[in-house]
Amino acid sequence: MKNMIKEYDISNQINVLTNSFKQIEYADTNTYNLDSKNYEYIDKIIICGMGGSAIGGDLFSNMFQNEIPIPIFVNRYYHLPNFVSENSLVIISSYSGNTEETTTAFNEAIEKKCKVIAFSTGGRVEEICTNFGFPHIKLLKGFHPRFALYLILFTLIKIFSKINLIKDQAELLNNSIALIQSKGEEYVKDNSLPEIIAKDIVGFIPIIYATSDFNNSVGSRLKGQFNENSKLHAFVNFFPEMNHNEIIGWETYSENLAKFKIIFLTDKNMNSRVKKRFEIFEELVNKNVEVIKLESNEKDFKLRLLDLIYLGDWLTYYLAIYRKQDPAEIDNINYLKNALS
């Protein structure tokens, strides 16, 4: 494996993965001022972003859905929803600062006179903030956006803590640093758990099942990482909704048509009826297709989400290497951006 990593990991992304905990440290020590009085009368929160810059919003929403009494929406489009108003807080999340969809939505937020907080490494987002006097938080440069998830997530957590929409998260931050650092040291070794799972998936298309409004962010992240890191098609759906439609598609499954492996993302605190649905569905399909179950043993729910996110990052990295692909390369995305410009 080490020789393959040297050959295919051209930009040394394994070092980025191993040191992901340092992104959390940076987000914690990054200094900026936010006056909580400016955000006392918020009725909605809209987090605008695309790709890796949006997944942080999904993960934040899963983590704090029972702690913030204000609805949170993640917006992946050029336009803001019609319900956005002067009392809405719009978070602009763009690692590069030049994401076309996000900067367009930013301009719309200005037109609607929304409250805005933005973060990026610079680019157009920083320029707009300077021109209009919005708070801009400078992110650490040097990452592919999807590999900067921990920086984006913990920047969001710090923002909401600073404006008093969530309590201080020092304990979560310290525990997260310890978790990611220890797992990185474990996963970088030969025959680690994510490497073993990755080897098992070679030659198959993964189909991921998570739970709506609970750990759906982990499912979406894993799907995207299979796409970008492993250069592989992957599919994701969510319980219980898939029990009302997609479950029927498995009635005629045959390996002659496609080779799939199912990945369950489960949690000990998931709804008991959803847990039962997973069990029944496994009974239906496990004679024809292997089910890989991923579940964290961490005590805290937020840490369990983060644990699975990190496992998925490593899993898809190793799968890229096994498939003789550069995990950092995104040629099709770059071609599309150039064609659009």
What residues are labeled active site? 228, 244, 337
CA 168 → CA 28, 150, 160, distances in Å? 11, 18, 9
Q: How far apart are alpha carbons 147 and 296 in whole angstroms?
A: 21
- CA-nearest of 305, 303, 280, 300 to 291 is 280
Q: How far apart are alpha carbons 273 and 214 in whole angstroms?
A: 14
Q: How far apart are alpha carbons 310 and 314 in whole angstroms?
A: 6
Q: How far apart are alpha carbons 16 and 231 in whole angstroms?
A: 19
Q: How far apart are alpha carbons 280 and 286 in whole angstroms?
A: 10
Q: How far apart are alpha carbons 175 and 300 in whole angstroms?
A: 10
Which residue is it, tokens 């799972």? 197
Tokens for 132, please give them. 């209009």
Tokens for 269, please give them. 């605190």
Q: How far apart are alpha carbons 31 and 164 in whole angstroms?
A: 17
Q: How far apart are alpha carbons 80 and 86 in whole angstroms?
A: 13
> Across 112-155, where does the E strand assignment appear?
115-120, 136-138
